[in-house]
Amino acid sequence: MKVVFFHASPKKEGKIGQIIQEMQSEAEKSKIETQLLFLSDLTIQECTSCGKCIENKKCVFRDDIKQIEEAILHSDVLVFATPTHWGNISSVLLKVFERLVGFVIRQNGNKPPIAFHAKGKKAVLITACSTPRPLNWIFNQSRSAISRMNEFCRYSGIKVIKKIVLPGTRRLSDIPNKIKEQSRKILRSVI
């Protein structure tokens, strides 16, 4: 059993980092193997839309996307954790999703694409935003970020099992105890 964390905030120890820390220490308690990918530290160039990944089954640019592909192959649970940026996932996570197209799906003529390397994995989706509840949902802030990650998972054949949404972060210096407990509980439930 291996859990891979995709830390997609530019801040290592922000709210997203704190949630990941809770989950990681819970995993360690249970002797579960984890891998933390702090995406902003990786060299991942933008997708150039060359289309070669469709025939090559992976991106032609072999930068740190290799590490991500390897991590997906050797994982059971993927944790996608992003701040909400402009009512969306962070740019670094979007970049990773774009670069993974050829790796996670196969084109199938006029039919929907076929899920490939990530098929059957489980996922936990996490987002944090400054907009307080319920406006974070009503105005498509957290909802939109979760929806973008859901879309990636749906086409890639990844089963989303849990979600964590932390709104109203502007007033918080640390994540609330309720979120800490929820993060630990979710980690226990997916392993």
Ligand X SMILES: Cc1cc2nc3c(=O)[nH]c(=O)nc-3n(C[C@H](O)[C@H](O)[C@H](O)COP(=O)(O)O)c2cc1C
> Using CB under 6 A as the criterion, which residues of the chain lie in contact with ligand X when the complex forms?
9, 11, 14-17, 83-87, 128-131, 136, 141, 169
Find the residue with minimal CB distance to ligand X: 14
Contact 81, 8 (CB under 8 A): yes
Q: Taking the complex as a whole, how short is the minimal distance between the CB of residue 91 and ligand X, in angstroms?
A: 8
CB of 131 to ligand X, least distance (A): 3
Please identify, using beta-carbon distances, which residue of 75 and 131 lies nearer to ligand X: 131
Query: What does the CA dihedral 131, 146, 37, 24 come to, rounded to 10 degrees?
Result: 80
Q: Rounded to the nearest whole angstrom, what is the least distance from the CB of residue 123 to ligand X in the complex? A: 19
175 to 16, 26, 86, 125, 178: CA distances (angstroms)? 9, 16, 21, 17, 8
Tokens representing 42? 């990786």
Beta strand residue intervals within the chain, DSSP E: 2-7, 33-38, 77-83, 105-108, 111-115, 122-128, 159-166
Nearer to ligand X, 83 or 102 (CB): 83
- For residues 87 and 157, which CB has a smaller minimum distance to ligand X in the complex? 87
Measured from the CB of residue 126, what is the shortest distance to ligand X in angstroms?
10
Nearer to ligand X, 86 or 119 (CB): 86
